[in-house]
Chain A
Amino acid sequence: TSSSLVPQAQSSVVQVAAACKPPASSPGLVSVLVDSRCITACVDVVSSLRQRHAVTAHVCSLDGCDFVVSNRMAVERQNQSELAGSQNRKRLVERVTNLQGLFERICLIIEKDRTKPGEVSRPSQRTRYYDSTLASLVRAGVRLLVSGGPEESAALLAELARLEQRKGQAISVPLEVKGHRQQALAFYRTLPCVSYVSALNMAQSFRSVSHLVNSSVEALQKGACVSHPRAEEIYRSLRYSCDTTLMNTSTARKNDI
């Protein structure tokens, strides 16, 4: 059966490559995905993105990050005070390491804490802990951006999305998924190294789930808009032969290492 699928897979490469390019007709329009769990904390950022920066902000359930600005870049937002104390460390470590499995690039926006009306903002003592966290993040390749508040964060997000668009990485796939595609999307999201936006690209690029399962590493790379190593990982998991005696632990989540 596999020989009959080869020509199909090759022809799809062309379509898929076209699907990954940003639409040339709308250079100013960019899309940003916003996690539904951060919407309460980021409501000012989201409205500024829409009203001031003409960004299409689509709220959905993301993979443990606050924003996705391109096919390969996730953006996390943190208050400065959250970064200065150790209470929040475990969560940040988990989120960042998880995102490294899903995205090529990770950005952290450090936002200045909001002061209540009437409250004088006092310069807080910079902790050694804060500096060591910054040093570790830089060493791990996380891009850091500093923001003075929600308005500035929105401007940074819009800037990142436009920069990624110029590099041909803009989110250009339809964000609404209906019917049979929803089932395929859930399946794709369970694959290793597949973020929500990669899964959306897959649902758009492949004619059927079987088409994806039978695709080459190169076709997967183009169809999901992911790097070659990630495409290899996906390919490997689709062809991996299970040992059913090891099946008792079925609760594992993806990227759970």
Chain B
Amino acid sequence: MEIKPPVLVNAVPPYGHVIAHEKWRDSVLVQSLKGTGNVKTIFEEELGVVDFHLSNKSCILYVSETDIVAGNNYKRKLVRFRNANSSLQGIVVVEKTRLSEQYFPAMQKFVVFELGLTLLPVASQLEASQLLTQIVHGESKDNPFRRKSVSRLLDPLVMSLVQQIPGVGKVKARALLQHFCSIHQLCSAETHELEPIVGQATAQSISNFFHNPLV
């Protein structure tokens, strides 16, 4: 039977909430989300292959130990999960237990390398609920791993670039940049223009550095 496209596939729950598939209603995972995690759950039947929708535009597919060991068509489910959620970040949460451990490397290879999804192993539903809680609450916090793009002054950088030229130290670099204010200008300078600033030997060394063939 053809599965209808789920209505709520792109729904984003309010902050601090998750939308969970109806089948999770009485699970340990959802109870623990509510109890220790302080995350509110909204249940929905029409989530398609997705198990949880999170408010940071990510959605979660949960692969249980039983799914893995029984080989329960989870590959097809994963492909459908990937295809259904192109606008959302797909996270696959996998139960990696003593029983399912042996299948894990193959599973990881498929999920990460072939499908390009994120895979996070957990040992139990309880651990999954702790992980989900951190994903949900983490959104409001500043992410330390995200590189902040701050415009910075390039002057010190150009200064250290000039000092990479053999024979040029701090003093000569500064003197050079007072006359030729960029690397591009310095590179175009003739040896006789450099000589009065840094002396004959260094002028030659600078010219060699820029113009000697590298091959």
Please give the residue numbers on chain A whose beta carbons come within 8 Å of chain B beta carbons, in ascending order.
1-2, 89, 93, 96-97, 100-101, 123, 126, 128, 131-132, 134-140, 142-146, 148, 152, 155, 159-160, 163, 180-181, 183-184, 186-187, 190-192, 203, 206-210, 213-214, 236-244, 246-247, 249-254, 256-257
Given contacts A134-B131, A186-B164, A236-B154, 8 further A-B pairs with CB under 8 A are A131-B130, A160-B113, A184-B209, A242-B158, A244-B178, A244-B181, A247-B155, A250-B159
The reply to whether the CB of B182 lies closer than 8 angstroms to some CB of chain A is yes
Q: Does B119 contact A (CB under 8 A)?
A: yes
Which residue on A lies nearest to B178, using beta carbons?
A244
User: Can you list 15 A-B contacts (CB < 8 A)?
Assistant: A131-B134, A132-B137, A138-B118, A139-B145, A140-B146, A146-B96, A187-B209, A191-B161, A209-B214, A213-B183, A213-B187, A242-B159, A247-B174, A247-B177, A254-B160
Q: Which residues of A contact B103 (CB under 8 A)?
A: none
Q: Which of B64-116 contact A (CB under 8 A)?
A: 89, 91, 96, 101, 104-105, 108-109, 112-113
Q: Chain A interface mostly helix, strand, loop or mixed?
A: helix
When the two chains form their complex, are residues A244 and B177 in contact, meaning their CB atoms are under 8 A apart? yes
Contact of B214 with A208 in the complex, beta carbons under 8 Å:
yes
Contact of A242 among B109, B143, B155, B166 (CB under 8 A): B155
Report the interface size for chain B: residues with CB under 8 A from the other chain. Answer: 65
CB distance from B7 to the nearest CB of A (A): 27
B23 at the A/B interface (Cβ < 8 Å)?
no
B16 at the interface (CB under 8 A from A): no
Q: Residue B148 at the A interface, CB < 8 A?
A: yes
Tell yes or no: B1 within 8 A of A by CB: no
Return the CB mask of B136-178 against A: 1 if under 8 Å, else 0: 0111000111111010111111111101111000100110011
